[in-house]
Amino acid sequence: MVRYRSWVNMRTGPTGHESIVYGLYSLYDVRDEIAKAKAAVDAEPRMAELDAAIPPYVTAYETLAPLIAQANGYYERADYKVDKMAEGKTLHVKLAPAGRAFLEERAKLEPLFAREKLKGDEAELALIEKREGRKARWVVANVMLRTRPVVELLPREAKPIVDLPAFDSALATYASAVRSMDEYAAAEPGSFSGFEGRPVS
């Protein structure tokens, strides 16, 4: 929808008088991923909030995807030049609310998914510490894990305003992890030489 929104007024829809018509991007075939997501909802371990958020997200995608495919074909074929944007206007009436509904469901899902991902990563970090102690592998994994919240809190199109208290907290945690890495490197010279692998992704 980002490409579509870059040239269409989402409130009024396409007019046929646009100076540039970019169309939309085609979608990947994600039927296998959708099937896995639906199956995961009823699988263990149960994650109540995340499990509840998956079905409406999938439904919103399944509503939007065929509209995007239809619109993408229409604009790729440049049919709007022939019918003076008639079908584009008709499609917009369905496309705009479907796109809005999908983005709303995604906005609900993303923080829940991020929270469960963080739990898994924290558990993996704890497992590394239990097996190996706070050595090179743990130190690198810890820095990588603390980097992600900082990056995710940076401004972006969907969320241009930064939550400064959360960002400051994430940055402080990241800085502490980097200091730990520096201290370990000073105490164990060469410990990171040839280090491979990214334990926490």
User: Are 24 and 90 within one domain?
Assistant: yes
Q: Are residues 138 and 107 in the same domain?
A: no
**Statement to judge: residues 100 and 141 lie in one domain:** no
Structure-token pair, residue 158? 């969907």
Q: Is residue 127 part of a domain?
A: no
What mean pLDDT do residues 82-95 have? 96
pLDDT tens track for 4-43: 999 999 999 999 999 999 999 999 999 999 999 999 999 8
pLDDT number for residue 20: 92
**Cα 196 from chain centroid?**
26
Are residue 87 and residue 175 in the same domain, yes or no? no
- Whether 97 and 169 share a structural domain: no
Domain extent, residue 179, equals 133-201
Number of domains in the chain: 2
Tens digits of per-residue pLDDT, 42-72? 988 889 999 999 999 999 999 999 999 999 9
Quote the CA–CA distance of 125 and 168 in Å, as a whole number: 23
The pLDDT tens digits of the residues spanning 164-200 come to 999 999 999 999 999 999 999 999 888 876 554 444 4
Q: Give dist(CA 57, CA 136) in Å, integer.
A: 40
What number is the average pLDDT over the span 88-107? 96
> What's the pLDDT at 201?
40
Answer yes or no: are the C-beta atoms of 24 and 75 closer than 8 Å. Answer: yes
Q: Do 105 and 141 lie in a common domain? A: no
C-beta neighbour count of 148 within 10 angstroms = 17
149 belongs to a structural domain? yes
Amino acid 200: pLDDT: 41
pLDDT, tens only, 107-145: 999 989 888 998 999 999 999 999 999 999 999 999 999
Per the CB < 8 A criterion, the answer to whether 146 and 177 are in contact is yes
Please give the Cα distance from 110 to 72 (Å, whole number): 26
Same domain, 26 and 94: yes
Q: Cα(129)–Cα(139) distance, rounded to whole angstroms?
A: 9
Q: Check whether the bond before 45 is cis (ω within 30° of 0).
A: yes
Rounded CA separation 174/166 (Å): 12
